[in-house]
Amino acid sequence: MSPDRASSGPAVGLVALGLVCQEVGAAIAVLLFPHTGPLGMVMLRLLFSAAILLALARPSVRGRTRGQWWAVARLGLALAVMNAFFYLALERLALGVTVTIEVLGPLALSILVARSRTAWLWAGLALAGVLALGGGGWDRLDPVGVLFALGAAVSWAAYIRSQAAVGRLFPAGRGLGLEGLALAMTIGALVSLPFGLLTAGPALLRIDLLALGAAVAILSSTVPYALELMALRRLSESAFGILMSLAPATAALAGWVLLGQHLTWLEILGLGLVVCASAGAVWVSRRREEPVA
């Protein structure tokens, strides 16, 4: 389905809202690591998300084509791997740093699928902003954590492509438009299940931890992924990939507002660059899709 020029504005709002929810959910998840471990948290997040989406969408498994099953399988695997790498990195790196490295995946994707020199310009501007948001000190980072974050970056790019494919193959009018995502989330939950059971252990018997796990699932998976699926029906993959560069900015602002973490001038400059790049990418996408008079 081609992006709808008239609805690209609301689509940007959907992406931004999803990113805010993800950062709040990530903060809660970090608090649960001592009890569940990163992979246990991934399992809880995907299991609760799958249960919620299955209840909302009630997808049918009959009559699906091979192409549809292949698309949801790819998305489910991407979800499991992306979240595993992200939480494993988050155990060793700060939230803002982890997201900064992770967002390089969507940025690289936006460059690869760009069809104009102007799109490359916005992607390069966003990359400069992401690097500025790092604020220096890259040599002091945990190397294993950086590798996990890079794995999350590659997985995030694969997730965007898989999510776009599911959005094209599953009609928006059925199951709230979430049928494909519900099936993919279920596959992802099943992939994460054995790893989560090994690491979470007795924590799975605590009601308070399960309740927090459900909150993380809603904030970090159910709401953002549903919003992103709707946004990808309205935006090109290139514009969406550059919009993902807002993630480090969202993380930095959340740390400032909620955690009292002050921003340096370099980080403020980075925020401005990624916001300008994201706005420019959407503007270019809309201009390219305008009908020629």
Give the amino acid at 279. Answer: A
Does 215 have pLDDT greater than 60?
A: yes
pTM of the model: 0.77
Each residue of 144-173: b (16+ CB within 10 Å) or e?
A: ebbebbbbbbbbbbbbbbbbbbbbebbeee
**What is the reported pLDDT for 3?**
44
User: For 91-145, how does the pLDDT look when each residue is reduced to its tens digit (9 = 90+)?
Assistant: 888 777 787 778 777 777 766 766 667 777 877 887 787 777 666 555 567 889 8
Residue 208 CB neighbour total at 10 angstroms? 9
Sign of the dihedral defined by the CA atoms of residues 86, 94, 230, 58, in that order? positive
User: In the chain, count of helices (H) and strands (E)?
Assistant: 12, 0
In angstroms, how far apart are the furthest CA atoms of the chain? 65
Does 161 have pLDDT greater than 70?
A: yes
What is the spatial distance between Cα 230 and Cα 206, in angstroms, rounded to a whole number? Answer: 35
Give the amino acid at 252. Answer: A
Structural contact between residues 167 and 233, judged by C-beta atoms closer than 8 angstroms: yes
Q: What is the DSSP letter of 272?
A: H
User: For 48-77, how does the pLDDT look when each residue is reduced to its tens digit (9 = 90+)?
Assistant: 999 998 998 888 878 788 888 999 999 999
What is the spatial distance between Cα 1 and Cα 232, in angstroms, rounded to a whole number? Answer: 9
Residue 289 CB neighbour total at 10 angstroms? 16
User: For 248-281, how does the pLDDT look when each residue is reduced to its tens digit (9 = 90+)?
Assistant: 777 777 667 765 656 677 767 876 787 777 667 6
What is the spatial distance between Cα 243 and Cα 16, in angstroms, rounded to a whole number? Answer: 8
What is the spatial distance between Cα 136 and Cα 59, in angstroms, rounded to a whole number? Answer: 47
Q: What phi and psi values does residue 278 have, to the nearest 5 degrees?
A: -65, -45
